[in-house]
Amino acid sequence: MKVHKIILTIILWFTFLSSYSYDNEQSGFSVITIGPYENELYSAFGHSGIRYYNKNTGEDYFYNYGIFDFDQPNFYLNFLNGRLLYKVGKYSYPAAKNYYIDQERFVKEQLLNLDQSQEILLYNYLEQNIQPENANYLYNYVYDNCATKIRDILSEVIGDQLSFSEVTGDVSFRNLMDMYLKNNLWGDLGIDICLGPEIDRVISYKDKMFIPDFLFRSLEKASLGGSKELVKETVILNPSIIKEFRGNFLTPNIIFFIFFIFILTISFRQIKYDISYHLIDFFIFLSTGLIGLLLSYLWLFTDHLSSNNFNLVWALPSNILISFLFIKVLSKKLLVNYLILYASSLIALFLMWSFIPQNLNESLVLLISGILVRVLTNILCISRSAVQ
């Protein structure tokens, strides 16, 4: 396989040399940055690609590292396991540009200031990458995506001559994600529940480039050999398009507030009138248990950034088993003892909220408060009935 790759590289090298006429004004490479598209969670952070154009030959291509196929075998299982295959493809740049503009997304183009040898190396690298045996790669939200691919390709092709500009400010992966999910609060909640404290560490300026716009900012001031700017010209298409996204009115805060008020109401009625709400408790414990089961799976069996997830304090997998005790109480003592331990865990979580190394989603305060009210209410009512 290595021999085949070497032969392919040599063929591509000479093919390109034979057809390539070096003219900075007529041909070259650009990094393309596409604005966010909040109709789809996977497009909410924007997109990056590489353009190659040659006006002499009419070539104008877009190398896209953000391609995935819903029909690939075991798509959803691979997604859950953190082993989803993405791939690079080569498309018509004008068609790709029009597609993104039709979605009302800005398109920024940074023309790279490369010499002939660097352009040949980059062209050969991309052409070898799009070969079927090389096109696929294991996607990772923050370490291996469309933007980090471009960062790494430029570093590999240009080498030590390339110096990226540092985007200042101490931020985490989660901080940057939150910036782009202000209008997709349910998506933000899902990410905050599933991903653990690994994405809360302060990241380097290179790590920030997992966001396409941060890659763009870094390239703007990047240099070659310390003296020559990497980007010789920046063109911003449709800059007037500043789309105001309208998020769902039923945000997590609103839904969880309604949930909390509902829980307060039924808990008051249970304490005052001795009315049982076993089906509601069954649903609450079963739901939190299933969430906990998912988080445990992500932690133990996947390549996701989900280890040491503090959401497991309120979403205990054992809640699945306990939920059935609300349908048929086999042992009141067992149930009360479990509820006391669970309540203690929830109270401890609230006390340590600002000190744990994971930034939990603020909307969870209302959800967990509602769960805690139900737990305390059941402890009180079950204990009271046992005394009677």
Q: What is the mean pLDDT of each run of 10 residues along the chain (388 residues)?
A: 50 51 75 89 91 95 91 72 86 96 93 95 96 93 95 95 84 95 92 94 94 95 91 87 64 98 98 94 98 94 86 98 90 94 98 97 98 98 77
pLDDT at position 18, please? 47
CA angle 216, 220, 222 (to 5 degrees): 110
Same domain, 212 and 287: no
Residue 59, domain extent? 2-168+205-237
Same domain, 355 and 260: yes
Cα(45)–Cα(178) distance, integer angstroms? 10
Per the CB < 8 A criterion, the answer to whether 197 and 173 are in contact is: no
pLDDT at position 301, please? 85
pLDDT at position 78, please? 73
Nearest to 55 by CA among 32, 89, 21: 21
Same domain, 224 and 284: no
Same domain, 308 and 227: no
Per the CB < 8 A criterion, the answer to whether 44 and 187 are in contact is: yes
Per the CB < 8 A criterion, the answer to whether 305 and 195 are in contact is: yes
The verdict on residue 183 lying in a domain is no
Same domain, 232 and 272: no
In terms of pTM, does the model score above 0.85?
A: yes
pLDDT at position 257, please? 98
Signed CA dihedral, 145, 150, 152, 157: sign only: positive
The verdict on residue 211 lying in a domain is yes
| 340 dihedral zone (left: phi>0; alpha: psi -120 to 50; beta) | alpha
The verdict on residue 196 lying in a domain is no
The verdict on residue 173 lying in a domain is no
The verdict on residue 258 lying in a domain is yes
pLDDT at position 260, please? 99
Question: Strand pairing partners for 59?
Answer: 54
The verdict on residue 6 lying in a domain is yes
**C-alpha distance from residue 311 to each of 90, 263, 323 (Å):** 41, 21, 19
Sorted by sequence, the CB contacts under 8 Å of residue 142 that are 6+ apart come out as 148, 173, 199, 207, 210, 305
Domain-terminating residue out of 213, 237, 261: 237
Query: In angstroms, how far is the first alpha carbon of the chain from the final one?
Result: 78
pLDDT at position 285, please? 98
Same domain, 281 and 346: yes
The verdict on residue 296 lying in a domain is yes
Same domain, 214 and 271: no
Same domain, 313 and 217: no
Residue type at 297 in one-letter notation: Y
pLDDT at position 244, please? 56
Same domain, 218 and 281: no
The verdict on residue 281 lying in a domain is yes
- Per the structure, the count of domains in the chain is 2
Nearest to 243 by CA among 49, 31, 44: 44
pLDDT at position 37, please? 87
Same domain, 271 and 350: yes
Same domain, 263 and 214: no
Question: Strand pairing partners for 62?
Answer: 51, 91
pLDDT at position 295, please? 95
Query: What is the CB neighbour count within 10 angstroms for residue 288?
Result: 24
Same domain, 211 and 272: no
pLDDT at position 47, please? 96
Cα(106)–Cα(97) distance, integer angstroms? 9
